Amino acid sequence: MKYYNRSLDCADDLDVEEVLTAIDLSKDGGARDDLLGLIMFTLDRTLFGDPCTHHRSLLESLGKDDAIISFNWDLLVDNIVSSSNQKQPDYSIPEESLKVSLNESPSNGSLCCLPFKPKLLKLHGSMNWMDCRKCKIVNVYLLDGKTAAEWYIEHREKACSCGSPMNPLIIAPTLLKSYKARPFGSVWTEATRVLAKADEIIVVGYSLPVTDLRAKWLFRESTAGERPIHILLFDKSPEEDKLRRWREVLHNRSIDAETGGIREAAKYLVGVR
């Protein structure tokens, strides 16, 4: 925390996005890795436990033409899919650029049985994606019971089968976001295609931050035109300023808002499917 002249013990008022932006500007790769590692452990603490039944219900309610678009790195959905199908979700990463490793058969196969691989478009990357620039391959690891932070620490310095080091495919919460690395081009293209065909868009807990300029453009571009779209927003506190941001981006379309999160969204989907 040398850039802010304080220790982590008194950093509660600091904004993570601002700190990461400062680190990126300083080109301090070590500090960046340390902070991302801390974020991973924080995710573990908040998401620790058995697979979420609400995420499972949501997955079971999906049809073949549905897709989940996520800005999160966590593996809640990924792990449920791999434990039921012993396969990765459909990340929309080209097959020729993808290598999947399943370390051992998951022990939670009875959680649910999915008839197909659901489409999961992770626009800011994923904790189980690692990039080998020499092979031009995205290595995807399906977890075998390890927590996300344990996996991240173990694989952060791991070498590809070709011997070259791998880099985590994660877009950090910084103002200097870069989407140049594979496979983000194909993932964002597919997200645009899916949204451009959607007749219903359900948003859960995403408030469209001012700094997510590319996300704003994604929604603007894919919802342009006159086609009818049912838009439903689930938020813990669906305040008017959030709704106003969404209406502006979605070409002033009407938005239905519900107080809640993944539990309420899953209940809604189960009820209408």
Query: Above 50 in pLDDT, residue 106?
Result: no
Residue closest to 72 by CA, chosen among 37, 100, 43, 46: 43
Whole-model pTM: value is 0.85
Q: Is 188's pLDDT higher than 50?
A: yes
Predicted pLDDT at 110: 46
Residue type, 119: K
The one-letter code for the residue type at 197 is: K
CA distance 148 to 264: 25
Are the beta carbons of 68 and 118 closer than 8 angstroms?
yes
Q: Which of 87-96, 177-186, 234-243 has the lowest mean pLDDT?
A: 177-186
| Averaged confidence pLDDT in the chain | 82
Q: Work out the percent of the chain whose per-residue pLDDT is above 70.
A: 75
CA 56 to chain centre: 16
| Domain regions of the chain by residue span | 8-47, 72-174, 198-272
Tens of pLDDT, residue by residue over 191-216, are: 999 999 999 999 999 988 877 889 99
Nearest by Cα to 131 from 179, 181, 174, 171: 181
Confidence of residue 179 (pLDDT cuts 50, 70, 90): confident
Mean pLDDT across 240-253 = 93
- DSSP letter for 134, please: T
Binned at pLDDT 50, 70 and 90, residue 7 comes out as low
Region for residue 27 given its phi and psi (left: phi exceeds 0; alpha: psi -120 to 50; beta: otherwise): left
The first and second tokens of residue 107, run together, are 């022990």
Least confident of 29-38, 76-85, 220-229, 251-260: 29-38
- Any idea what DSSP says for residue 63? -
Q: Is the pLDDT of residue 144 over 50?
A: yes
Q: How far is CA 243 from CA 68, 189, 206, in A?
A: 21, 26, 11
